[in-house]
Structure 1
Amino acid sequence: MKRQSRLDAPVQYWDEDLPKQADDQKAPPQLIRVNEINDVWMEIPRYVNHGWGGLWFSTLMTLIAVIICVVFVFIPSFPSDLLSMFSVYLPVFIFFSFFIYCIKRVLFEPRGAPVRFNRKRQKVYVYEYQRSVWPWKRWPAVIKVFDWADIQGERVQLAGHADSGHRIYCAVCKPGTHEVVDRFVLAWTVGNLRDAYGLWSHCCHYMEARPVPKNPLLTDKPADWTPFRTVRWPSDVERESTTATGMM
């Protein structure tokens, strides 16, 4: 019998639905990485672990292409007619735009954009960096807030050259239904299936106020090259997501 998701719109490359929050999990709870965990809230970083080296290479190659085009314009024998100028300035604009896109990603986009789980409020706070294909547009950070009861876990299995392994998504559904209204990544590619199961299990155990270990599997932080990529929670969200006040 063909396996089928219980959700009305499964994630792309769906492999399985994970157990619901209060159900028995597939593995004991185990964090992979954690920024903070206490009796009120827990913050998990989401480090993108694919394509990072390629971005630096693309940035360098695009910069070289821009320099070559600009130098070409200043060659004395370069034609000055409008068509010739357009044929050079257009590639310069395209290459430079792509260069700006790459620079914004490698220098300013937070690599470990986190998710916060507030056990007392039963809320999940997702820090999303709103990237656009248009590099000249502002890329703001957006905080999404969801009820834990509306979230269901999904696992994706990838077999790409630079991104192979298991990825965990959280599907946000309309209350009491399987109609997906939003979705966010809980963990980028994880090579070990048991680790992927353990992370989802840990979130479920934590939010259901069951015992969980506080020590993560990994304590190191992936390499970072700039002070510009800083996660800044708005003050009101910072206060709400880290306190238990306002409980119903």
Structure 2
Amino acid sequence: MVFTTPLLDKPAPGWKHDLPGPNELPSIEPYPPVLSNPPNSVDDAYLELARATVRTRGVGVWIALFMLLLSMAAPFFFIAYILKEGAVPPPIPSIALLMSFIVGLWSGIYCWRMDVTPPRDEPIRFNRLRRKVYVYRFHRNGLRPFSRTAWGIRAEAYDWDDLRAEACSVYGPMGSGGLIETVTLAVVKPGTRQVIDRFHFAHEIQQGEMYWAMAQLFMQQGPHALPTFPRPPRDWNNETVTFNLARRLAPKVRWPAEIDRESRTAP
């Protein structure tokens, strides 16, 4: 069943519809040939699915280099003017050069970190024996591109019963406009509709619904309920990427030891 009025307070931005709850029947049957990736790992205790908040990588690196080079043009023109005229530029051109330097530097650093800093995978683990969900989450802050503490990985755990899935669609800045579809997971306060956290789950609504259905089937029935995938799991940490600079420089997935052990075992 797909709900056509928001069940949560507040619904996700661009809310389209809610998916069935964690202990309800899936609304769709997973079909492996149309899914981007098979599970990273699955056994009697846990299911790990691949996840990525940044869908396309590799372009931002070159945009960053261009913006950084562009920012260097401002001090070059400033120095050239002084050498030629023997004085600093007038206030308005000086302010314009300063602003172009700041914007170019800020944009370059931001594009670089957005492309290179996220890990190669941001997996999510569903542990049916503990009834917990463990998320390898990458956090970023666009207003603080130079910060070390505002960017980084946090492994977080949630109760399976407190998760809710929402399908969303928004128009993004893609030339003349483009529809961006996602499925997000919300964490609610137990026994209420109040959202206390929310994070990205999958790109494209159809794929997100199928991955959510896989999580439901695994948590409700076990690994035998999952479909068979024609391709083997992808080793995100050891793949050879020769043409994508961003993925080559991206950090590998490193779960904290305690969370890694807990998320893969029984209580």
Q: What TM-score bracket applies, with the shorter chain setting the length?
A: 0.7 to 0.9
Alignment-derived partner of residue 256 in structure 2: 234
Question: Which range moves more in the overlay, 208-217 or 233-242?
Answer: 208-217
Identity of aligned residues (%): 27
- Stretches of structure 1 that go unaligned for 5 or more consecutive residues are none
Alignment-derived partner of residue 28 in structure 2: 27
Deviation at 1:157, TM superposition (A): 3.0
Contact 1:152 1:170 in 2 (8 A): yes
Alignment-derived partner of residue 185 in structure 1: 200
CA distance in 1 between counterparts of 2:264 and 2:79 reads 58
Within 5 Å, which residues of 2 pair with 1:46-61?
46-48=51-53, 50=55, 52=57, 55-56=60-61, 58-61=63-66
Contact 2:26 2:217 in 1 (8 A): no
Alignment-derived partner of residue 115 in structure 1: 124
Alignment-derived partner of residue 13 in structure 1: 14
Letter in 2 for 1:23: E
1:80 aligns with 2:88: yes
Contact 2:181 2:204 in 1 (8 A): yes
Alignment-derived partner of residue 215 in structure 1: 229
Contact 1:166 1:196 in 2 (8 A): no
CA distance in 2 between counterparts of 1:169 and 1:98 reads 27
CA distance in 2 between counterparts of 1:166 and 1:25 reads 20
CA distance in 2 between counterparts of 1:214 and 1:37 reads 12
Deviation at 1:49, TM superposition (A): 5.9
CA distance in 1 between counterparts of 2:89 and 2:181 reads 55
Please, what TM-score do these two structures have when normalized by structure 1?
0.83
Letter in 1 for 2:229: N
Alignment-derived partner of residue 171 in structure 1: 186
CA distance in 1 between counterparts of 2:88 and 2:163 reads 61
- Greater percentage in helix: 2
CA distance in 1 between counterparts of 2:168 and 2:155 reads 24
Letter in 2 for 1:121: R
Cα deviations across residues 180-229 of structure 1 (Å, max 9, x unaligned)?
A: 11111111235xx3x33221111101111341125277966796422333
Q: 1:202 aligns with which of 214, 221, 241?
A: 214
CA distance in 2 between counterparts of 1:90 and 1:159 reads 30
CA distance in 2 between counterparts of 1:103 and 1:72 reads 25
Deviation at 1:80, TM superposition (A): 2.7
Question: Which range moves more in the overlay, 102-111 or 128-137?
Answer: 102-111
Q: 2:139 aligns with which of 130, 139, 161?
A: 130
The change in CA–CA distance for 1:99 and 1:171 in structure 2 (over 3 A counts) is: same
Where 1:197 maps in the other structure, the secondary structure is helix
Question: Which range moves more in the overlay, 126-135 or 225-234?
Answer: 225-234
Contact 1:46 1:115 in 2 (8 A): yes
1:37 aligns with 2:38: no
Deviation at 1:153, TM superposition (A): 1.2
The change in CA–CA distance for 1:132 and 1:13 in structure 2 (over 3 A counts) is: same
CA distance in 2 between counterparts of 1:203 and 1:213 reads 12
Cα deviations across residues 3-23 of structure 1 (Å, max 9, x unaligned)?
A: 411112111111111112232
Deviation at 1:48, TM superposition (A): 4.3
Contact 1:48 1:111 in 2 (8 A): no
CA distance in 2 between counterparts of 1:199 and 1:164 reads 21
Letter in 1 for 2:227: P
Report how many aligned residue pairs link the two structures.
Answer: 241
